[in-house]
Structure 1
Amino acid sequence: MTTPPPPPSFWIFFLCSLIFLLDNANGNPNYREALAKSILFFQGQRSGRLPSNQEVKWRSSSGLSDGFLAHVDLTGGYYDAGDNVKFNFPMAFTTTMLSWSTLEYGKRMGPQLSDARAAIRWATDYLLKCATATPGKLYVGVGDPNADHKCWERPEDMDTIRTVYSVSPSNPGSDVAGETAAALAAASLVFRRIDPKYSRLLVGTAKKVFQFAMQYRGAYSDSLGSAACPFYCSYSGYKDELLWGAAWLLRATNEAFYFNFINSLGGGDQPDIFSWDNKYAGAHVLLARRYLLNKDERFESFNQMAQNFMCKTLPYSPSSSTQYTQGGLMYKLPDNNLQYVTSITFLLTTYGKYMKATKHTFNCDNVVIIPNSLINVAKKQVDYILGANPIKISYMVGFGPNFPKRIHHRGSSLPSLARHPQSIGCDSGFQQFYYTQNPNPNILVGAIVGGPNQNDGFPDDRTDYSHSEPTTYINAAAVGPLAYFAGSYSS
């Protein structure tokens, strides 16, 4: 019996994908180098007492009294972006994505695997403190964001109030609690073999935090007001975090309770975006894994939702709702667009990997989608970020010959303690270092900034935070695809 030839729509999509991949390409960048630098970036975001093996030498210990106002120890964790605040909602998402990257692509990371684990543990050590310091409370942030954003000073010089924020039964936060549970559960899998005791602590704490998220329902931005908004409002509500947290706990424990809870929630919304705020697409791909790799028919509906997301994302899909720039970059929103690019690229790469492993294909209307349909688009996004774009700039700081020099980042833009031991005050930081055209004195190696505008333009302007500010969650989502391509292409 002869196999029928692929339909014409298959060849149309294949050729379009090939053109999309090759257009404006500059060959294969050094993915291994980019991977190492993307993980090194997290050292530049560290809060707390820095270890002796700290490689980013222009940073020093900071935030050593964090938690003092609540009589607890909340030192550690990460500053989310170019500011000096610890926002646990995006930090927990960062941790979940770093953990997922390590679980999916750890074998491709080579010597960077131990660095990725260290980056995860820096976050989970802090998140464990937040979850266990006071019974009945989950601490969800340190530092008054409104006061902090009025100052331009090094983390080491912080003199703004380090207000401590928490959620509780009377002030619920199912979204931040659900994401914290997801982070701890995902990380427990990372450490399961190499540190079983720590892994058990992580998953045990994740269960308790998730129980809190389920029992006391509400959005944390409703409870915290101006401490959360407009910085990290929970725009999508909290049901996506409940689905996401349950999906990770199911993977970590395989307990029927989490399967039943997922079933009771249903799939939820089917957006065309994936981010620190909206987790539906990530949960769908994570649950689709059980259908594709484990042949568990109970998860078929989640696989269909994952495929619908891909159809909304792929540039030549008839049902695509995703805009691309002339240079080939996904364009979702004007502010910090690369956060959506890296997160969606992670899902493209990961679902494509599942498809390859199972020889799976699906249709977007009348177009047949093969694994490389996804992988090629993902590669285009990664290559664009690393310099294969119309203006030939790498949006990863310290990678390639041309990269952003004036990023919106306090520690990078102000001289280090070694060069300027005297304290730099709140206002003088703005006057002397923020409003200048000088390049930043400290290179935050590996930082991926917000990225170009819809016309592929980038001004490299420190005051333009929507394009020039790096964030932990941009980088965390990029680690997986970088590891995938580092393992697929020789440097």
Structure 2
Amino acid sequence: MLRKYKTAKLFVIFLVVILVLSFNQINHLLCQSLTWNSQKSLAEARYNYAEVLQKSIYFYEAQRSGKLPANNRVTWRGDSGLKDGFDQGIDLTGGWYDAGDHLKLGFPMAASTTLLAWGVIEYEDAYKQSGQYNYMLDNLRWVNDYFIKAHPSPNVLWGQVGKGSLDHAWWGPAEVMPMERPSYKIDASCPGSDLAGETAAAMAASAIVFKNIDTDYAKVLLRHAQELYDFADQYQGKYSDCLTEASDFYQSKNGYVDELIWGAAWLYLATDDQKYLDLAQQYYAQLTQQLNGGKSYNWTHTWDDKTYGSYVLLAKLTGKDEYIQDAERWLNYWTDRCNKKGIYYTPGGLAWLDEWGSLRYSAKTAFLAFIYGDWVKEPNKKEKYHAFATRQINYMLGSNPQQRSYVVGFGNNYPTQPHHRTAHSSWANSKSIPNQSRHIIYGAMVGGPDKTDNFLDERSNFKMTEVATDYNAGLTGAVAKMYSKYGGEPLANFPEPEKREDEFFVESQAILVGDNVTEIKAIIYNKSAWPARIVENLSFRYFVNIGEIVAEAYQPSEVKVNLVNNSVGSISQLKPWDESQNLYYIQIDVDGSQLYPGGEEHYKKEIQFRLNSPSTVWNPDNDWSYQEMSGQSSLIKTINIPVYEKDKLIFGAEPDK
């Protein structure tokens, strides 16, 4: 009897297990079916991918530092950072500003460059057919020219320009930065294998791009890449232990073994030298030690962590099961929505990893999923990885609950308040002045939504609205792939000219008007933004008609002009404009070197001046420059008080001669 009871009990347990397994299997299949149908329908959304690619590349031009080239397309950007490196006796002009600030940070700059170059290597035809190839080459050359400057000798690499605390304390356009910009380096005495290894990868990948276009330049890049990798390999250490200024922003938390793998793998691809592949594989074996007991699968490729890109790259280079399994385990973590231990998905379908710049993670993963999906042979895997990547990119372009594009200047309801100083172009050192950004930083992908698909388009919300070269790096390559699949047309007249505001002007008010005296308060402004700039030889003119005193036989020299209340500037006596009409002017010269759109005390200057007539018949209503002020009790923008740069009219109107 007992035996029968035990048998029955075992049978019931067995039946329950079968039912549970069947239920889980059915549930899993149902989940997979729903996921596939969802991915398929959303993947069918179409956007103008050529336009996105066009604008994403343009964003890097908006990030340029240094002396801008003659073919600069960003009309609101000018030369900036022209003394970078001078504090250390080296020319470090050029390169890219990292994000919405003015720091130049070598680690994320190099990481962005490697991915951009990889995109060109994988999808060269897409860049060419979309008409964006030469623009991308220009950007890769621009940033690599900076890396060449930053690597003046084999074991020295300058990794940062600008001090975070100084830079972030000021909110204004790059062209008029007032703060000191110290430079920082790694060398044999204080190394940085991660920084040197990533820069080696960037230059090696770029050398592949230029190999058949500019052989000599490719050779230069490859030489620097090899020297940098030797430096990284021989003198090992974390760069942020030496460049402590970088620790608050781009601390190397992941160590440097991943960059030693990454750099070696790219050098092998660039040189076909077996020693680099051997080094990559030797360091790959150390990943378990670096990551405290196991390789990582629950994060993604970032400026700091190159393990995931290394999975894909080494799988392609060798075809070995170890790398394939690592790559697929990681990609499956992101792509399998039925895996409860996988990546979190928002209700709208975004694979969401972290609150700070959420879209950059899914964009990079999408880019690598495309690359791996192109390479893998199994049709089901290819479809899965491509469908995931397509879904993520389309989410960023508008297939999301808010039905908004997260790429500035593209699509529907795109962000208008990106966290970017120069695009905002405040003259008052304020995130809230003006309310709207004065420029559209086309192509910049903002940080993105929270885990409930909620997004706040607020300039101060830098977790959501920051833009960065690192953010766009994965997006650019992924969109090139999307173009190769679905096509599109670049905009013919891009970029369209912006509507300009008055940049230099005068506001004025009559303070005192009497029978023989006129006293004027004038405020001259520099709110320049196309681009922001300092105009040293700045002046404005006040035009008067002295016909009434000439009729009484007085001479122009008898009208006395002087500054009031220690005003800043110098003032002339009357100068003739059109003597036949008795038109004269006073010229007020301003020290424009101290007038720039950099804060309340910097962008404007008040000047008061007085005219004393020798006659009591003085009538200011006859004066060209007074007419707008007549009857006004407050300051008004005065068109008839024109402004000049080196005697060239830049604002306002002059009386006819």
TM-score, reference length from structure 1: 0.89
Contact 1:20/1:328 (CA < 8 Å) preserved in 2? no
Q: Secondary structure at the match of 1:429?
A: coil
Contact 1:339/1:450 (CA < 8 Å) preserved in 2? yes
Corresponding position of 1:124: 144
Which range moves more in the overlay, 275-284 or 311-320?
Answer: 311-320
Corresponding position of 2:162: 143
Contact 1:387/1:400 (CA < 8 Å) preserved in 2? yes
Partner deviation per Cα, 1:246-282 (whole Å, 9 max, x = no partner): 1111111111211221222125233332111110000
Corresponding position of 2:333: 312
**Is 1:449 aligned with 2:446?**
yes
Q: Secondary structure at the match of 2:185?
A: strand
**Is 1:401 aligned with 2:412?**
yes
Aligned in 2, Cα 1:18/1:188: closer, same or farther, shift over 3 Å? same
Contact 2:312/2:323 (CA < 8 Å) preserved in 1? yes
Rounded Cα–Cα distance in structure 1 between residues aligned with 2:142 and 2:82: 15
Cα deviation for residue 9 of structure 1 reads 11
Which range moves more in the overlay, 135-144 or 215-224?
Answer: 135-144
Corresponding position of 2:211: 192
Aligned in 2, Cα 1:208/1:393: closer, same or farther, shift over 3 Å? same
**Is 1:282 aligned with 2:282?**
no
Cα deviation for residue 147 of structure 1 reads 0.8
Listed as ranges, the matches of 1:326-337 within 5 Å are 326-337=347-358
462, 466, 469: which one pairs with 1:465? 462
Partner deviation per Cα, 1:83-137 (whole Å, 9 max, x = no partner): 00100000000100110000001111221111111111111010111112x4531
189, 192, 198: which one pairs with 1:179? 198
Listed as ranges, the matches of 1:53-452 within 5 Å are 53-109=71-127, 110=129, 111-132=131-152, 134=153, 136-225=155-244, 227-267=245-285, 268=287, 269-272=295-298, 273-292=300-319, 299-316=320-337, 318=339, 320-355=341-376, 359-360=377-378, 369-414=380-425, 424=427, 428-430=428-430, 434-436=431-433, 438-452=435-449
Aligned in 2, Cα 1:251/1:70: closer, same or farther, shift over 3 Å? same
TM-score, reference length from structure 2: 0.67
Which range moves more in the overlay, 248-257 or 9-18?
Answer: 9-18
Aligned in 2, Cα 1:212/1:455: closer, same or farther, shift over 3 Å? same
Q: Secondary structure at the match of 2:242?
A: helix
Contact 1:79/1:85 (CA < 8 Å) preserved in 2? yes
Aligned in 2, Cα 1:14/1:485: closer, same or farther, shift over 3 Å? farther
Rounded Cα–Cα distance in structure 2 between residues aligned with 1:43 and 1:254: 32
Rounded Cα–Cα distance in structure 2 between residues aligned with 1:246 and 1:440: 43
472, 475, 482: which one pairs with 2:472? 475
Contact 2:193/2:236 (CA < 8 Å) preserved in 1? yes
8, 31, 35: which one pairs with 2:53? 35
484, 487, 493: which one pairs with 1:487? 484
Partner deviation per Cα, 1:35-87 (whole Å, 9 max, x = no partner): 11111111110001111111111111111111101111111000010000100
Q: Secondary structure at the match of 2:160?
A: strand
Rounded Cα–Cα distance in structure 2 between residues aligned with 1:332 and 1:97: 20
Cα deviation for residue 401 of structure 1 reads 3.0
Rounded Cα–Cα distance in structure 1 between residues aligned with 2:235 and 2:332: 36
Rounded Cα–Cα distance in structure 1 between residues aligned with 2:371 and 2:424: 35
Q: Secondary structure at the match of 1:231?
A: helix
Rounded Cα–Cα distance in structure 2 between residues aligned with 1:246 and 1:135: 17
Q: Which structure carries more relative contact order (alpha carbon 8 Å, separation 6+)?
A: 1
Contact 1:334/1:466 (CA < 8 Å) preserved in 2? yes
Q: Secondary structure at the match of 1:470?
A: coil
Contact 1:17/1:377 (CA < 8 Å) preserved in 2? no
Q: Secondary structure at the match of 1:243?
A: helix
Cα deviation for residue 197 of structure 1 reads 0.6
Q: Structure 2: any 5+ residue segments left out of the alignment? A: 1-24, 288-294, 489-657
Q: Secondary structure at the match of 1:205?
A: helix
Contact 2:337/2:343 (CA < 8 Å) preserved in 1? no
Contact 2:43/2:390 (CA < 8 Å) preserved in 1? no
Corresponding position of 1:15: 33
Q: Which has the larger radius of gyration?
A: 2
Give the letter for the 1:74 counterpart. L
Cα deviation for residue 139 of structure 1 reads 0.5
Rounded Cα–Cα distance in structure 1 between residues aligned with 2:326 and 2:107: 25
Q: Secondary structure at the match of 2:277?
A: helix
Contact 2:192/2:238 (CA < 8 Å) preserved in 1? yes
Q: Secondary structure at the match of 1:306?
A: helix
Aligned in 2, Cα 1:240/1:320: closer, same or farther, shift over 3 Å? same
Q: Structure 1: any 5+ residue segments left out of the alignment? A: 1-6, 293-298, 362-368, 416-423
Aligned in 2, Cα 1:307/1:463: closer, same or farther, shift over 3 Å? same
Rounded Cα–Cα distance in structure 2 between residues aligned with 1:488 and 1:235: 37
Rounded Cα–Cα distance in structure 1 between residues aligned with 2:385 and 2:30: 15
Rounded Cα–Cα distance in structure 2 between residues aligned with 1:319 and 1:104: 33
Cα deviation for residue 182 of structure 1 reads 0.4
Rounded Cα–Cα distance in structure 1 between residues aligned with 2:207 and 2:449: 36
Q: Secondary structure at the match of 1:228?
A: helix
Give the letter for the 1:370 counterpart. K
Cα deviation for residue 26 of structure 1 reads 7.6
Aligned in 2, Cα 1:291/1:263: closer, same or farther, shift over 3 Å? closer
Root-mean-square deviation over aligned CA pairs: 1.9
Rounded Cα–Cα distance in structure 2 between residues aligned with 1:354 and 1:135: 36
Rounded Cα–Cα distance in structure 2 between residues aligned with 1:92 and 1:245: 11
Cα deviation for residue 490 of structure 1 reads 3.5
Partner deviation per Cα, 1:155-180 (whole Å, 9 max, x = no partner): 10112111111001111111100100
Partner deviation per Cα, 1:326-372 (whole Å, 9 max, x = no partner): 000111111111111111111111101112xxx336xxxxxxx4201
Contact 1:271/1:280 (CA < 8 Å) preserved in 2? no
Contact 2:106/2:160 (CA < 8 Å) preserved in 1? yes
The alignment covers a number of residue pairs equal to 453
Q: Secondary structure at the match of 2:248?
A: coil
Contact 1:178/1:213 (CA < 8 Å) preserved in 2? yes
Partner deviation per Cα, 1:213-233 (whole Å, 9 max, x = no partner): 0111110111122x1112000
Cα deviation for residue 380 of structure 1 reads 0.7
Rounded Cα–Cα distance in structure 1 between residues aligned with 2:40 and 2:436: 33
Q: Secondary structure at the match of 2:429?
A: helix
Q: Secondary structure at the match of 2:249?
A: coil
